[in-house]
Amino acid sequence: MIEIKKFVFNPFQENTYLIWDTNSKCTAVVDPGCSSPYEEQQIADFIKTNLLSIKFLINTHCHIDHILGNKFIKENYKCEFWAPDKDVFMLKLMEEHAKNFGMNLKESPQPDKLISEEIELNLDGTIGKFLFTPGHTPGEYCIYFPLESVCITGDVLFKEGIGRTDLWGGDYNLLINSIKTKLFTLPEDVKIYPGHGEPSTIGYEKLHNPFLI
């Protein structure tokens, strides 16, 4: 079984997730958006208090609000950093992008491993499958845990919303196709954890998401 802890970080109100196996405490940090010493301390205190063992740092995609904490997590926990192949170029662009928002971005490390649908995220026996869901960015992936009926949807699918497509590499038709062919084919009881806002379910979004009805 897994447990999930959400933090809401940075001026973009981005959801950072800790996902761990309840027995071994093997943990993945997904989209670390911590952008200040206070936010870094928040996540570090939770990790320490709950005796979590950070094995993976995962970027579902590489927009600025989802990578602000990459350097902090990688350097402090010496974990494997995984990111989408087609989004890696953004890691370098984001430092300049941050200046446009008056933010001080610590340069992100480069990934140790590139995400594809051929690999799995293994949290000591709890398996997460990567679903290629481009459209918001050229390379975004969602992470689906079939036995847990959980999917981390990044900025692809929100509660009653979808990701923006007016940013670098965005493509509205491609995003809609990703949702319909990769996410809406999942069981309706699958709970989604998006990159912003509150959780939902696949079934709810099929019925109530105004972009997809």
Structural domain boundaries in the chain: 2-208
CATH 3.40.50.720 fits 2-208, yes or no: no
pLDDT mean across residues, the chain: 96
pTM of the model: 0.97
Question: ∠ CA(7), CA(11), CA(13), 5° rounding?
Answer: 40
pLDDT in tens, 133-149: 999 999 999 999 999 99
**Structure tokens that stand for 190 in this block:** 């699958």
- Note the pLDDT tens digit of each residue in 38-95: 999 999 999 999 999 999 999 999 999 999 999 999 999 999 999 999 999 999 887 7
Task: Give the whole-angstrom CA distance, residue 163 versus residue 172.
Answer: 9
pLDDT of residue 118: 97
